[in-house]
Amino acid sequence: MRSRSPLTLRVDLPQEPREPGFWWPLVLATLFTAAIATIGGELTQLGDWYQALKKPSWQPPDYAFPIVWTTVFTFSVIGMAFAWRDVACPRRRGVIVALFVLIGGLNMLWSFLFFNQQRPDWALIEVGALWLAVLLIVVAPLKDSKLASLLFFPYLVWVTIASYLTWTVVQLNGPFG
């Protein structure tokens, strides 16, 4: 008599692609942005040099800046999480992450140039790169996530205002160096 081998049934079902997720990108973007905000805050010294600058009459009061930045950063962090979740192409998602990191670096560089080096003229040149990077991060997820683009948009508005404010400070106080 022949011995029977146990019948093994193996079914390989196609695995559905995993969602990129929302919460981990939200946590990572929050931690990254908190680090950027902390470093930027350390670089922003409103000492005698800053107080002596001529500023335009329309400049928001100093206490408004942390409120605006907190709002802009909060929207951007949420926008980053939605972009990560909704943008289907991993390469485009990587571009958005790279822009997010670049914007953080440019943000710190602006604070370093303006406050630490006391060079609003250099900060004015640098803010052009920051503005362009923010414009790109607004546009990059637009095809897949209008919500992400909308959440990044206040950053563009604020950097536009900050650019004009920097230009005005340079006009009222230059030359520097």
15 located within any domain: no
The pLDDT tens digits of the residues spanning 24-44 come to: 999 999 999 999 999 999 999
Number of domains in the chain: 1
Q: Is 23 a domain residue?
A: no
> Is a pLDDT exceeding 60 seen at residue 18?
no
Contact 33, 78 (CB under 8 A): no
Q: For tokens 């408004």, name the residue.
A: 64
DSSP string, 67-84: HHHHHHHHHHHHHHHHHH
151 lies in a domain? yes
Residue range(s) defining the domain that contains residue 86: 28-47+61-173
Q: What CATH number is associated with residue 146? A: 1.20.1260
Give the mean pLDDT of 56-76.
Answer: 96
**For 94-108, what is the mean pLDDT?**
98
Is 23 in a helix, a strand, or coil?
helix
Task: Tell whether pTM > 0.75.
Answer: yes
The Cα 128–Cα 125 span in angstroms is 6
177 or 158: which leads in pLDDT:
158
Number of Cβ within 10 Å of residue 46's Cβ equals: 10
- State residue 11's pLDDT score: 54
Tell me if 5 is assigned to some domain.
no
